[in-house]
Amino acid sequence: MSNKSTRIKAGLISNIRTKLAANLDIDEIAISGRDWPDGEEITGEIGEADDEEDVSVDFVVPTKGQSVPLAWAQNFKLSIDHIEYIVALQMSIVEKVLVKNNEKRSYELVAYFTDLQLESIHKMMALKSELNQAVK
């Protein structure tokens, strides 16, 4: 039994390396939880990164007892979280410009922070600072 599990692990690891090396989009496979067939044809080229930014990637490493597809799903969510924070920062910059010109619109814009999927503490900080600004 141990030999079989070792073989499965080795196959899974080599399969993951092959998928990563081919630079394929594997988010769909990861979220669906399907297995990656060993006989699947790999297409694509390994490209060199043009900038250092392309080399640096945040990702979640599978922990003991966690499946690889689940870790990939968490990585997919991580990129969505980053997008939410980028939108929040852009809204914050625009809001600071609007404070001088149109205070009412500025306060409305801050209310949209509640629609973003941010950590609750970050939402509270934004709303509290805007409330303090409105009281002044």
Domain range spanning residue 43? 1-56
Could you write out the DSSP letters of every residue in the chain? Answer: -HHHHHHHHHHHHHHHHHHHHTT---HHHHHHT----TTPPP----PPPSSHHHH----PPPPTT--HHHHHHHHHHHHHHHHHHHHHHHHHHHHHHHHHH-HHHHHHHHHGGGGS---HHHHHHHHHHHHHHHH-
How many domains does the chain fold into? 2
45 lies in the same domain as 97: no
pLDDT of res. 67: 63
28 lies in the same domain as 70: no
69 lies in the same domain as 48: no
pLDDT in tens, the chain (136 residues): 455 555 554 555 555 555 544 444 444 444 444 454 555 444 444 444 444 444 444 555 556 665 656 665 665 555 556 777 888 888 878 877 777 788 777 777 777 777 777 788 888 888 888 788 778 7
pLDDT of res. 68: 58
pLDDT of res. 131: 82
132 lies in the same domain as 80: yes
34 lies in the same domain as 91: no
67 lies in the same domain as 134: yes
130 lies in the same domain as 73: yes
